[in-house]
């Protein structure tokens, strides 16, 4: 049997896979593939329609925006992901980005290395506490819940949430205060935890920043494209918001001349929020388990 995999996964998972199937790193002969594993790669409709033997398309992670779901449905190929497995890792990284921007950790580190800070207590090193602040969640899934728990337990934050697919009663049942999308931008922090779909493309745009607290810090560890980067840049340079951090960009990796990367009140990641040794082991095991089940392999 042949399984497509052209992305790094946990070594233990890859070795387990290679012990039972032939792993191929290209789509040159899609008609020979029995399964497709996607992490960073894309799985187009053209490939899916040619993969007549394929019995499963497995996403390593949660987001399915790299897979042509309509083509998979038309071809009768099941698509699976691994929801919740890396939730804690992404949540911890989200908090790390909040703290970084709030306390200017990256900025201070850079200026210290450059010899630009001549004494402690300089005005440009002053940041914000996170304790007793208000957090707005876009989405209410596993990662959002983990972020909320850390912020509530560790920083005594008040948590607001917007999820158009949930009723106010359901959101209250999760321990959150229901809000409109625009209402979240009255908070001190807004954290993005929704999928990238046609409905959420540029969900955060110029309108979002028109009437928000100037101390707002925006963090996106979900998917690039949900935040309009031009609008975010304008909001940052005009002091409409205090800072932002993106682990994901509309184009990855971002171009080095991306204007956001030139700003001191902006922190960049490289789609690494879920990349911990622990999460990769859990994800790898779940991915291989699903593939082996679909292929009838006892391994």
Catalytic residues: 223, 252, 271
**Residue 282: C-alpha distances to residues 40, 116, 147, 244 (Å):** 17, 43, 19, 30
Helices and strands, number each (H, E), in the chain: 9, 12
Tokens of 158: 């008040």
User: First-to-last CA distance in the chain?
Assistant: 14
Beta bridge partners of 160: 136, 177
The residues, ordered by sequence, that sit 6+ positions from 122 with a Cβ below 8 Å of its Cβ are none
Picking from 150, 130, 36, the residue whose alpha carbon sits closest to that of residue 89 is 150
DSSP letter, residue 204: B
Q: What is the phi/psi pair of residue 28, to 5°?
A: -60, -35
Give the angle subtended at the CA of 163 by the CAs of 158 and 166, to the nearest 5°: 105
């Amino acid at each position: 049997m042949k399984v497509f995999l052209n992305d790094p996964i946990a070594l233990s998972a890859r070795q387990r896979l290679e012990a039972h199937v032939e792993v191929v790193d290209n789509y040159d002969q899609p008609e020979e593939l029995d399964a497709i594993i996607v992490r960073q790669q894309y799985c187009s409709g053209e490939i899916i329609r040619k993969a007549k033997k394929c019995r499963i398309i497995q996403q390593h992670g949660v987001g399915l925006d790299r897979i042509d779901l309509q083509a998979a449905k038309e071809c009768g190929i099941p698509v699976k992901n691994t929801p919740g497995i890396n939730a804690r890792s992404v949540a911890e990284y989200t908090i790390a980005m909040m703290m970084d921007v709030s306390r200017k950790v990256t900025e201070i580190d850079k200026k210290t290395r450059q010899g630009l800070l001549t004494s402690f207590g300089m005005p440009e090193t002053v940041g914000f506490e996170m304790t007793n602040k208000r957090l707005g969640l876009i989405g209410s899934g596993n990662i959002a819940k983990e972020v909320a728990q850390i912020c509530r337990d560790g920083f005594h934050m008040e948590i607001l949430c917007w999820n158009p697919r949930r009723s106010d009663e359901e959101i209250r049942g999760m321990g959150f205060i229901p809000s409109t999308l625009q209402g979240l931008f009255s908070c001190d922090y807004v954290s993005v935890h929704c999928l990238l779909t046609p409905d959420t493309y540029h969900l955060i745009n110029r309108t979002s920043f028109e009437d928000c607290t100037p101390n707002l810090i925006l963090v996106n560890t979900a998917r690039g494209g949900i935040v309009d980067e031009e609008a975010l840049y304008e909001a940052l340079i005009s002091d409409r918001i205090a800072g932002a951090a993106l682990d994901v960009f509309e184009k990855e990796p971002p171009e080095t001349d991306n204007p956001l990367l030139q700003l001191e009140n902006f922190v960049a990641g490289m789609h690494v929020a879920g990349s911990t040794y622990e999460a990769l082991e859990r994800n790898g095991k779940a991915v291989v388990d699903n593939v082996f089940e679909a292929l009838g392999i006892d391994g």
